[in-house]
Amino acid sequence: MAIGSELVSANGFVISSMPIGESDRRIEVLTRELGKVSAFVRGGAKPRSPLLAATNPFFFGEFEFFAGSSSYTLRSARQRARFDDLLKDLDDTYMGMYILEVAGYFGREGIDEKDRLNLVYAALKALIRHEVKRESIRIIYDLRTMMVNGVYPDAFSCRACGKRLDVNAINLFCPADCFFYDCDCRDRIKGTARELSPALLYTIQLIFSLPAGKLFSFDVNGQVLLDLEFIAKRLRAVFFEEHRFRTESFI
């Protein structure tokens, strides 16, 4: 161990990897305990390196790092779940890389990222199962990411009057301010309002309330999918700060 360093353990996903010189790697890991961290992997690109597998995105496991004064160095890694099946389908691979890129963009060092890590895990598992369409997975993932970030609209109460929205009635969404309204408050909305069917509002509320493990247990189809995609794009324009992710051009 290097002087001035300590050994720390964390569980998480490798979300990106890049070469450093001929044989080293620099990885970014989204962890439950440390948040998002960058770490050097000495000799990680060598074919016989015991750390070779841990330099690949989608590696999920337990990591041990030497924590120096200004950087981490990977000491060991033990895989806890496999996501190799994502690499068997190019579309699954691209969607998986998008999920990791979004997590990496919003992940922060030194904070509890348990909710984000659980979301990534659940989304990637849903991709492997092929029980939910990729389009649905992406929309659900994007909306839930806003919740993990702590910046998302209240889909349970009217923005104008504060009354709880009746999921069995027609409610409203305002694309201009990206808030939800009771139908009785239509006159208090600035701009054009878009009606929400009961099924659409119920779906949005599920996305913002279900535990991560059950989040991708349902699919979205037909008009509800089209309307949800519109709302997700509007919310993303506000809450994702118009950021364009590199992997979007492939999905």
pLDDT in tens, 58-91: 999 999 999 887 789 999 999 999 898 999 999 9
pTM: 0.92
CATH for 56: 2.40.50.140
Tell me: do 177 and 238 sit in the same domain: yes
Asked whether the beta carbons of 61 and 79 are under 8 A apart, the reply is yes
Please give the mean pLDDT across all residues of the chain. 93
Query: What's the distance, CA 91 to chain centroid?
Result: 17
In 89-152, at which residue ranges do the beta strands (DSSP E only) sit? Answer: none
Q: What percentage of the chain carries pLDDT values higher than 90? A: 87
Q: Are 122 and 20 in a shared domain?
A: no
Which residues is 45 bridged to in the sheet?
none
Residue 137 has pLDDT above 90, yes or no: yes
**Is 2 a residue whose pLDDT tops 70?**
no
Residue 94 domain flag: no
Backbone angles phi, psi at 24, to 5 degrees: -100, 165
Exposed, middle or buried, 211 (CB in 10 Å: 0-12/13-18/19+)?
exposed
pLDDT at 71: 84
pLDDT tens digits, one per residue of 151-169: 899 999 999 999 999 999 9
**pLDDT of 206 higher than 90:** yes
Question: Based on C-alpha coordinates, what's the Rg of the chain?
Answer: 21
**pLDDT range class, residue 1, cuts 50, 70, 90:** very low
Total domain count for the chain?
2
Q: Looking at residue 55, what is its pLDDT? A: 95
| Same domain (yes/no): 145, 57 | no
- Answer yes or no: are the C-beta atoms of 138 and 101 closer than 8 Å: no
pLDDT digits (tens, 9 = 90+) for 7-65: 999 999 999 999 999 999 999 999 999 999 999 999 999 999 999 999 999 999 999 99
Domain hosting residue 119, numbered range: 112-250
Q: Which amino acid is residue 8, in one-letter code?
A: V
Q: Give per-residue pLDDT as tens, 218-234.
A: 999 999 999 999 999 99
206 occurs within a structural domain: yes
The answer on 160 and 71 residing in a single domain is: no
